[in-house]
């Protein structure tokens, strides 16, 4: 439990005075994410600004300092039978809440339980003028002012330093069970979407290595009745499987080959590429490993109604995020100006031009 917000604020003010760009570090477990920036930066360590500030299980709301490790938060929630329903991936032991929101990373449950962005209720943020501001709050519904909290999701720290985050949390499901079936990727896309359109307690759907996995979770009776109706082999140690998918520990994710992430229309046809796929989110998130040129992948992603980014590995000196149309690039540049007029935070991390 350490409140380092004063020091963080001083560091930002000093950087502003010196014109010294900063690299915001939670603890660097996601250092692989984003571009390799060329600017000379100084590290601003948020990882030491940690601790749960407020947690009231009956309110379903938790507030923690941005450097708080996810594990600490998850342990506190588990004591009350609650959880982070967006199932954040852990890339190390010390992934922080701030880094997770900045990268907008969510796990297998995302299509059903929402993303980390969906659960955010409010933040405190140090902007590039060295002002410590508060947006949103600790209540479920709040439409006063622009939604600056959710704007941070995916911004990779380019708009400011988050110091505190309030989240909606939810009860853990009473029971869960996973069904497995062999099929092709294309069949799985059809099947996963068809199952998702049924009013059943589906909470995860992925395809990997020729098998489709469906996770049912909720009231015991509902889970059992649905499993009986749908049929398929029941997976032993299913929690372990989903955990390794969530944390990218499956064999599929190992090795140095570039890892591409497609975020597309859930039922889009599988793109004709030679490499290996892993489909998550009932087909809305697709991982790809294999030879490919970025322009070709971007074209395929557009045809599938979405975008592609170079998640890990590969050439990180070019753009790693999907190229932005000019109008959107303009808006994001102006947004950067609005929050960080001196260009202090994470220069070049998200896009070369930001």
Q: Which of 21, 88, 89, 98 binds ligand FAD (CB under 6 A)?
A: 98
Three-class HEC string of 266-285: CCCCCCCCCCEEEEEHHHCE
Select the residue interacting with ligand FAD from 162, 204, 245, 264 (CB under 6 A): 162
Beta strand extents in the chain (DSSP E only): 22-25, 42-45, 52-56, 61-65, 82-83, 120-126, 132-136, 161-168, 170-171, 175-182, 202-208, 211-218, 233-234, 259-263, 276-280, 285-289, 307-312
Of the ranges 80-88, 98-106, 213-221, 315-323, which one interacts with ligand FAD (CB under 6 A)? 98-106
Alpha carbon distance 156, 321 (integer Å): 11
Q: Which of ligand FAD, other proteins, none does residue 271 bind (CB under 5 to 8 Å by kind)?
A: none
Alpha-carbon distance 141 to 124, whole Å? 17
Give the C-alpha separation, 154 to 144, whole Å.
22
- Contact positions with ligand FAD (CB under 6 A) in 99-118: 99-100, 102-103
Told to check if 95 binds ligand FAD by CB under 6 A, we report yes
Is the CB of 15 or the CB of 126 nearer to other proteins? Answer: 126
Q: 26 touches which of ligand FAD, other proteins, none (CB within 5 to 8 A by kind)?
A: ligand FAD
Q: Which stretch binds ligand FAD (CB under 6 A): 46-54, 107-115, 241-249, 313-321?
A: 46-54
C-alpha distance from residue 319 to each of 35, 255, 275, 309 (Å): 7, 22, 21, 9
Question: Could you tell which of other proteins, ligand FAD, none binds residue 56, using a CB distance below 5 to 8 A set by kind?
Answer: other proteins
**Interface region with ligand FAD, contact rule CB under 6 A, candidates 73-81, 92-100, 189-197, 282-290:** 92-100
Give whichever of 299 and 317 is closer to ligand FAD, judged by the CB atom.
Answer: 317
Beta bridge partners of 235: none
Figure out which of the listed residues 24, 151, 268, 308 binds ligand FAD, where binding follows CB under 6 A.
Answer: 24
Q: Which stretch binds ligand FAD (CB under 6 A): 88-96, 108-116, 169-177, 213-221?
A: 88-96
Rounded Cα distance, 25 and 99, in Å:
8
β-bridge mates for residue 122, sequence order: 136, 166
Give me the residues that bind ligand FAD (CB under 6 A), please.
Answer: 24-31, 33-34, 46-48, 66-67, 69, 91-92, 94-96, 98-100, 102-103, 156-157, 161-162, 346, 349
């Amino acid at each position: 439990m350490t409140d380092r917000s004063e020091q963080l604020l001083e560091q930002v003010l000093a950087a502003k005075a010196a014109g010294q760009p900063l690299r915001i570090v939670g603890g660097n477990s996601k250092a692989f994410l984003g571009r390799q920036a060329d600017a000379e930066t100084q590290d601003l360590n948020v990882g030491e600004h940690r601790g749960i500030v407020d947690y009231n299980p009956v309110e379903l709301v938790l507030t923690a300092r941005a450097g708080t490790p996810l594990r600490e938060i998850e342990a506190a929630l588990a004591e009350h039978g609650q959880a982070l329903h967006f199932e954040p991936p852990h890339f190390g032991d010390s992934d922080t809440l701030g880094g997770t929101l900045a990268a907008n990373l969510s796990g297998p449950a995302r299509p059903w339980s929402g993303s980390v962005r969906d659960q955010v209720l409010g933040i405190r943020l140090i902007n590039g003028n060295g002002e410590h501001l508060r947006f949103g709050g600790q209540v479920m519904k709040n439409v006063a002012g622009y939604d600056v909290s959710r704007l941070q999701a995916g911004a990779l720290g380019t708009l400011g330093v988050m110091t505190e985050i309030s989240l909606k949390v939810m009860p853990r499901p009473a029971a869960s069970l996973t069904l497995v079936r062999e099929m092709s990727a294309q069949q799985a896309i059809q099947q996963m979407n068809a199952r998702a359109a049924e009013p059943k307690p589906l909470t995860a759907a992925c395809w990997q290595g020729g098998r489709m996995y469906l996770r049912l979770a909720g009231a015991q009776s509902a889970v059992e009745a649905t499993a009986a109706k749908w049929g398929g082999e029941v997976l032993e140690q299913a929690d372990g499987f989903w955990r390794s998918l969530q944390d990218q520990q499956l064999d599929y994710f190992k090795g140095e080959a570039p890892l591409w992430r497609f975020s597309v229309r859930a039922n889009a046809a599988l793109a004709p590429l030679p490499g290996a796929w892993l489909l998550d989110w009932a087909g809305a998130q697709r991982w790809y490993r294999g030879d490919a040129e970025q322009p070709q992948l971007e074209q395929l992603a557009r045809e599938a109604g979405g975008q592609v980014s170079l998640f890990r590995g590969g050439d990180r000196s070019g753009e790693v995020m999907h190229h932005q149309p000019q109008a959107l690039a303009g808006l994001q540049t102006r947004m950067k100006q609005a929050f960080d007029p001196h260009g202090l935070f994470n220069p070049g991390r998200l896009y070369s031009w930001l």
